[in-house]
Amino acid sequence: MNMVANGIRYHVERCGSGFPLVLFHGFTGDSSTWAPFCEKWGSCSKLLMPDIIGHGQTESPDDPVRYNIETVAHDMNAILDQLGITEIDLLGYSMGGRLALTFALLFPKRVRKLILESSTPGLVTDEERNLRRMKDAGLAKLIKEKGIEPFVDYWEEIPLFASMKRLPLAQREAVRKQRLNHSPIGLANSLLGMGTGSQPSWWEHLDRLECEVLLITGNEDHKFCTIAEKMIKRLQHGTWVTIEKTGHAIHVEDGEKFATIVSDFLNHKEVV
């Protein structure tokens, strides 16, 4: 279905029934990221899967300011208002995890449980954020000048996704096809407006979260394991699970294990 939130047309997929579970995909992903989990989670949860601004079938406005992560969180809040949903469980992967954390901090009464896959509260110092914004601006320029395919070629080779090379060819081709199907301006502006360097640092706000929080990382994703180790010390009600033989995109690399961990957390079972 399509919905308009604060002037932007969003595409939202739905499946299942039960307590609402909102799912935010990562950069270069879309709502179809979560389709394989509809059967497992849909028996207990009503899944709401938006294409984040600049991705999938959602609009890709020309102004990168419109992609500001707090503004997008307000868009998500407006969508929930239109659907008459007051409280949700919320799961986000990577960029979607940063959006999920932002949403939970801005609208804490709406989030019952929060799941962050391979995510971060942002960069701590102004210097780090400035350097990251410069890097993202360079990637945005690449997309605008060269198009999607050269960018995806580059993106597939960054160390963060090295473990995905072990996936079967058909699975890797499906991920590549999804990435290539995006609007160049949407991806470029997502980097400029919603990149890690553009968002606020939420490190000093983590202790404000009163909901249960589950952090999931892959043991081969050393950077985000280090981030999770620091995050867990600041959370009131945090659990951290690391999945063996996976990297950044755990839901792709070991979907069965990922689905079980999420399901157990949502259904109040011990997470191991």
State the alpha helices, DSSP H only, in the chain: 38-42, 69-83, 95-106, 126-146, 148-156, 169-180, 184-194, 222-232, 250-253, 255-266
Residue 205 DSSP code: G
Helix (H, G, I), strand (E, B) or coil at 80: helix
- Alpha-carbon distance 162 to 48, whole Å? 30
- Alpha-carbon distance 267 to 7, whole Å? 36
The pLDDT tens digits for 1-58 are: 999 999 999 999 999 999 999 999 999 999 999 999 999 999 999 999 999 999 999 9
Report yes or no on 271 lying in a domain. no
Question: Above pLDDT 90, what percent of the chain?
Answer: 97
243-262 mean pLDDT: 96
Confidence band, pLDDT 50/70/90 cuts, at residue 272: low
Helix (H, G, I), strand (E, B) or coil at 191: helix
Report yes or no on 61 lying in a domain. yes
* CATH at 108: 3.40.50.1820
The pLDDT tens digits for 153-209 are: 999 999 999 999 999 999 999 999 999 999 999 999 999 999 999 999 999 999 999
Q: pLDDT value at position 268?
A: 77
Q: Residue 270 pLDDT > 70, yes or no?
A: no
Q: Mark residue 200 as left, alpha or beta (left: phi above 0; alpha: psi -120 to 50; beta: remaining).
A: beta
Helix (H, G, I), strand (E, B) or coil at 45: strand
pTM of the model: 0.96
Report yes or no on 73 lying in a domain. yes
User: The domain containing residue 248 runs over which residues?
Assistant: 2-266
Report yes or no on 260 lying in a domain. yes
C-alpha torsion sign, points 239, 243, 248, 254: negative
Helix (H, G, I), strand (E, B) or coil at 59: coil
Token pair of 29, please? 């992903």
Q: What is the mean pLDDT of the chain?
A: 95
Report yes or no on 95 lying in a domain. yes
End-to-end CA distance of the chain: 36
Report yes or no on 272 lying in a domain. no
Helix (H, G, I), strand (E, B) or coil at 112: strand
- Alpha-carbon distance 78 to 83, whole Å? 9
The total of structural domains in the chain comes to 1
Distances (CA, A) of 260 to 200, 210, 240, 245, 251: 32, 24, 15, 16, 11
The pLDDT tens digits for 117-155 are: 999 999 999 999 999 999 999 999 999 999 999 999 999
